[in-house]
Amino acid sequence: MGNALTQQKAVAILILINTAITNLRLYPPTSAMISNTIDRLHQAFSAMFDEAPSLVFAESERNILICGEPLGTDDLERPQVKSFLELMLLFEIRSISFEKGLAKEEILRLLPILCKKPETVAVEGGLQKELDEARLPHVQLGKKIYIAKDENQQILASLDIRDDDIVAYLSGSHPDLDLDPQKVKEMAKDPEWATRIFQTGMTRIMEQKGKLPDVQLSTNLVRMIGILNRIVGPDDQERIALFIAKAIANLDADLASLVLTQDIGDLFGGSIFRSVVDQMDGEKFSEVIEKVRLLESDPKGGSSVSPNAGGKTTPGIYDQLMASEKGKDFQRKQKEQETREDEEKESQLRSIELEIAPLLKGDESALLNRPLMASLPEISAQLTAYGASQKADSLLACVVQGLLSKSESVRGEASATLVRMIDRLAPERQGAVVLDKTEIFLKWIRLETAATSAYEKIGRRLKDQVEEQIRQGKLADCIPVLDLFHRIAVGILEKNDTAQAMAAEIIRELASPENRELLFRHFSQGEGKNKEVAGRILGRLGENVLNQLLDILRDHDDSQERVRILNVLAEIGKPAIPVIRGRIDPDESWYFLRNLAYILGRIPSGATASALQPLLLHREEKVRQESMKSLSRAGGDERGPVLLSMLPKVDDMFKLDVVEMLGSVKYAGAVLSLVEILGTRPLIPPAIRIDLEERICAALGKIGSPEAVPVLTEICKTKGLLKRSVYPDKVRKAASLALTSIGNGR
């Protein structure tokens, strides 16, 4: 491919590639603009392959070579060519070849890769990896080509070539370069040249710091030193070795450690290793020796070394370092330091023990010593650091015990200090302490009257513990904490507004969608105790969860499941009443409303009776009857007023039951209304009226109010010419019995 016409065809392809990349960045892949450009590009490649089996673009000295021939200035100045050259430089593409047989589908897979940012491609594994995964058999990177310089000379141009070929080869940037060893040895006879080559290679390697792993950099550096060891003459070995050793000694501790552990002991007659050690300052040597120890004990520990990344560690380097004069001095200083630290530790432990002795003896007044309390988190951390963790635990336990003091001041100091002490512990230890001291924390929360910052922080730690227990399925362990916050939130356990608001917030957070999903799964699909406990937990998670349970109660066709929900709601007690009341809708199914009436009957409360009132007026008799049972069972002192208010509203048959219950509850407030009914004798079917009058008399007798005596006496009298009463005998008999009851009551 040596004529100008063919090169221009190649330039046209280059321009089409650049145009396609530009269009892909501007237009959707399915647009006609993209499709047309790809078609033209594929046609151009096909025409080129009619003349040559391949087309290779390479970069050399910021020029583009087309199959080994550099572009002229005019072509190189074209904007599309400049853009393509910049793309090659950004991706570090030294050559890219397209082979005959290139399919349109390969072009479609290649171009989106070239549209990506180089840093994105680097994160994803590099350009070669991207091309491999795209399955491009007719596209290659790094194919070697030759550039014609004159008739008698060729120089190698490849993916890795630079003007400084030798530096590139030595530094490991391009280890596959084909160099003439004899010629390199001749050049290395000049020590200045060898020094300069090493320095340039070192710079090249360190430019990759952060881009390549340290282990790869150290491997490249040792490779370069090894090659120099072979080509530098014996007269210059000592001088070059000293120069190399200084460079290694100046590396950071991580990289220097990796170099030392890559078997450099035999290089340059063993002088490099000794010189590196001699030229390190004490601080650097201490860092290096610790990192070497870690590398030899575990190549993964403490650095970027990985056995699979090419790192090679030689056992015994640590021992060699320690055997050096600097190593012996290091050991001596280390031992002296350890002795000083041990003495200091013993002294500090004695001082700490004296300081905390009153606390450990149970002296509650020590908890009011503010300087001491302020220092306890640090003291506890010191005890743990000195190996006295058992004493640190005892100290913590003493502070925890202060939460139960009768003195509000002591409780305040203990709780504030305890929060700081827990915060200083390791995360896993924090959770263990909260779990271990949960029972005392709960007693303190019941006892505490001040909603302090410590009160909230400990409460939230308990909340976090409950969430973790829910995730682990340890549901029974959640109940004590959850029950306490639930009782505070709904006002069963009286606290100030701040504490109640905090408890309500904790309940809201525990009722997160994730927790509810887990708990409902246990409730519906679980086995054994967890199934039952999940229901108890759900019942304490607020109004939204209660409504979910009521939805299941309404919709579920399994009677056992409904019974379980009835039991859960009944166990909740008074806090469930507002939610149940809100679900009483006359248009709901009668059996759901009957279940609501049943639940209310299991919750004795002053609010139960009024909640039952709309159900007592329901059109379905089964709902009314269940409501009457529940009112009787749980309505308390409010039964009478509710029944009396209903008396004018209920139908004639249900009045019988209402009157009977008014008598059963002995509601004196109903006497006047009952007497009025007897006196007016409402116009209702005679049979029902007689039963109603009989029950009113019986109810008045049970109530025992003297106010009923006149009307009862009047009923018992005979009237008219035939000496007959206007009341039937059964009513007169009931009135007589009522009078007897009232009389006996006096």
Q: What is the percentage of the chain residues whose pLDDT exceeds 90?
A: 21
Under the banding of pLDDT at 50, 70 and 90, the label for residue 695 is very high
CA distance 724 to 734: 16
Q: What is the DSSP string of 288-328?
A: HHHHHHHHHH-TTTTSS--GGGT----TTHHHHHHHSHHHH
- Euclidean distance between the first and the last CA atom of the chain, given in angstroms as a whole number: 133
**How confident is the model at residue 132, as a pLDDT?**
85
**Going edge to edge, which strands form the sheet with 95-99?**
69-70, 63-66, 54-60, 95-99, 139-141
> Looking at per-residue confidence, does 615 or 721 come out higher?
615
Statement: residue 156 has pLDDT above 50:
no
* pLDDT tens per residue across span 438-494: 999 999 999 998 889 999 999 999 999 999 999 999 999 999 999 999 999 988 899
Element (H, E) at 12: helix 4-26
Kindly list the domain boundaries of the chain, sorted by start residue. 4-155, 164-323, 651-746
Specify the range with the lowest mean pLDDT, choosing from 341-355, 369-383, 565-579.
Answer: 341-355
The residues facing 59 across adjacent strands are 64
Instruction: Look over the chain and give the mean of its residue pLDDT values, rounded to a whole number.
Output: 82
pLDDT beyond 50 at 303: no
pLDDT at 305: 40
Report whether pLDDT(165) > 80. no
Q: pLDDT, tens digit, for every residue of 559-605?
A: 888 888 888 888 888 888 889 988 898 888 998 999 999 999 888 88
Q: Which residue has the tokens 């020796």?
A: 289
Q: Return the pLDDT at 510.
A: 92
What confidence tens digit (pLDDT) does each residue in 182-204 have?
555 566 566 777 777 788 778 88
Pairing between strand 145-150 and 95-99? unpaired
DSSP 541-575: S-HHHHHHHHHHHHH---HHHHHHHHHHHHHH-GG
Nearest to 692 by CA among 630, 650, 742: 650
* Model pLDDT, residue 18: 85
- Res 17 pLDDT > 60: yes
In contact, 201 and 170? CB cutoff 8 Å: yes
Question: Where residue 158 falls among pLDDT bands split at 50, 70, 90?
Answer: very low
Q: Which class does domain 651-746 fall in? A: mainly alpha
Q: Is the pLDDT of residue 539 over 80?
A: yes
pLDDT value at 718 more than 80 = no
Q: What pLDDT was estimated at residue 163?
A: 32
Question: Contact, 535 vs 523, CB < 8 A?
Answer: yes
Instruction: Give the pLDDT band (50/70/90) at residue 161.
Output: very low
Residue 72 DSSP code: P
Query: How far, CA to CA in Å, does 590 sit from each of 297, 418, 585, 593, 597?
Result: 76, 55, 10, 5, 10
3-state helix, strand, coil in the chain (%, to 5): 70, 5, 25
pLDDT tens figures, 261-277: 887 877 887 788 888 88
**Any idea which of 227-231, 419-423, 566-570, 611-615 has the lowest mean pLDDT?**
227-231
